[in-house]
Amino acid sequence: MFHVTAHQQLTFMKKLLVVLTLVLTLTPSRAQVQTFSAPGVDTVLTGQWTATVMGSLGQFIRVVLDVTRYTDGPCDAYFSIPLRGRIQNRFSSVSCDGATFMAASDTLGFRFEGTIRDESVLEGTWTDNRTSAWVQFRKLRPVQRTQEPGPNPGYAIHHFDVVNRDGGARFGATLTAPDTTGRWPLIVFISDRGRHDRNASEESGHKPFLVLAHMVTTQGFATVRFDDRHLNLTDDAQEPTTTDVADDVLHVIKRLTRFPWVDTSNIILIGHGEGGIAASLVGTLRPDVRGIVCAATPAADGEDVLLSQIRAFDKLMRIHDSTTTFTQSIVRAWLDIIESDPDDAGVTIRIGAYMDSVMQKASPAELNNPVITPFRRTSWPT
């Protein structure tokens, strides 16, 4: 049986914190992506395209289009807006005809119509709700790189599904272990808020959890990483709460009790961002959690963190202070409603009624605020 002493765990945790700091905070200054030429794919339009576009509030945001055009005609396309936390969101409608290309997200109000000028330039009109502007997308330079450990990494890898029936969720996961003959302490990776796959993949191609899982497995630990439950759902699907994420982690651990080479009585949780809060919740419910690593996790009151993030983001995007104050006032009102009403259905009705009153008084510019636009397309229960 494999046994890790308290001293060994402490030494490993210190090393791991250093690696986490590097892996989770170092972001490439220029996106480097991997593109492929495959049979049946038009290589001129197919690939990743990037541009800085005008947002609905007059701010500038970076958009990445990931387009696949098949030689028999159909197109498929995704968009990423890193500063808004949207990675690989699928357009609801896409078309391509000759040199023309169109993609739209009806839910979010995004639309691009343009033409291919040459193999490196895609130009046309980008619309963000009621704001339209001419933009020029440039094709990202293909770089053959991978963070995959290869076909023979030197340890066991097992892919499986996790079912959380009470939470109505089913998602995929990957288990690694030095081998299947020992009994290895377990490290569980928990991603930040947003839609993340099990590797916490970024649009640049960076896969932090994959890199970390490889590293710690070679150091004598089993690891598990899992997809967010709403990864492949539609844009308007309800985002899981922190409690939902913690519940999914508990189901992952329960599922791993079927593997005799995983020591589920000896667990370390690694949570990134809000995943660190979920890790702390799990730690209060399972005495077999021996350690928790919170990477870039809020260490202050959640309301203060959220409001400060709004101000910091708006400052970065050069949004006027009056708009920031307006956004913060809406978020404060939401939080007051949530704290005062324990009934989820009641909260939904009250927030819907509040937003109706806000929209009746809002100026045309305020109606394009990202916290309002989803309510303009939603029918709320009464």
Domain end, chosen from 139, 154, 182, is at 139
Identify the CATH number of the domain in which residue 14 sits.
3.40.50.1820
In a domain, 36, yes or no: no
State the average pLDDT over residues 330-345: 91
Asked whether 133 and 113 are in contact (CB, 8 A), the reply is: no
State the average pLDDT over residues 375-382: 61
Cα–Cα dist 134/112, whole Å: 10
In a domain, 39, yes or no: no
Is residue 177 exposed (0-12), middle (13-18) or buried (19+ Cβ within 10 Å)?
A: buried
Cα–Cα dist 67/80, whole Å: 11
Task: Give how far the C-alpha of residue 139 lies from the chain's centroid of Cα atoms, to the nearest Å.
Answer: 23
351 band by pLDDT with thresholds 50, 70 and 90: very high
Percentage, residues of the chain above pLDDT 90 = 47
State the average pLDDT over residues 106-131: 88
- If asked whether residues 97 and 243 sit together in one domain, one would say no
Asked whether 115 and 136 are in contact (CB, 8 A), the reply is: no
- If asked whether residues 184 and 234 sit together in one domain, one would say yes
Q: How many domains does the chain have?
A: 3
Q: Which sign, positive or negative, has the C-alpha torsion 375, 378, 381, 382?
A: positive
pLDDT digits (tens, 9 = 90+) for 231-267: 876 555 678 899 999 999 999 999 999 999 999 999 9
What the block records as the tokens of 219 is 């150091």
Is residue 361 exposed (0-12), middle (13-18) or buried (19+ Cβ within 10 Å)?
A: exposed
Cα–Cα dist 198/216, whole Å: 16
Domain end, chosen from 139, 167, 202, is at 139
Q: Which residues of 207-217 are buried (b: 16+ CB within 10 A; e: fewer)?
A: bbbbbbbbbbb
pTM above 0.85, yes or no: no
316 band by pLDDT with thresholds 50, 70 and 90: confident
Instruction: Give the structural domain span for 307.
Output: 302-377
Contacts of residue 115, defined as CB under 8 A and 6 or more positions apart, other chains included, come to: 99, 100, 101, 122, 123, 124
Helix (H) or strand (E) holding 7: helix 6-25
In a domain, 111, yes or no: yes
Tell me what pLDDT residue 68 has: 87
At residue 104, does pLDDT exceed 80? Answer: yes
How far apart, in Å, are the Cα atoms of 222 and each of 161, 219, 227? 17, 9, 17
Question: Angle at the Cα of 331 (from 330 to 335), degrees rounded to 5?
Answer: 120
How far apart, in Å, are the Cα atoms of 269 and each of 10, 13, 81, 157, 315? 14, 11, 29, 19, 34
pLDDT digits (tens, 9 = 90+) for 2-48: 444 555 555 555 555 544 544 444 433 333 334 333 336 677 888 89
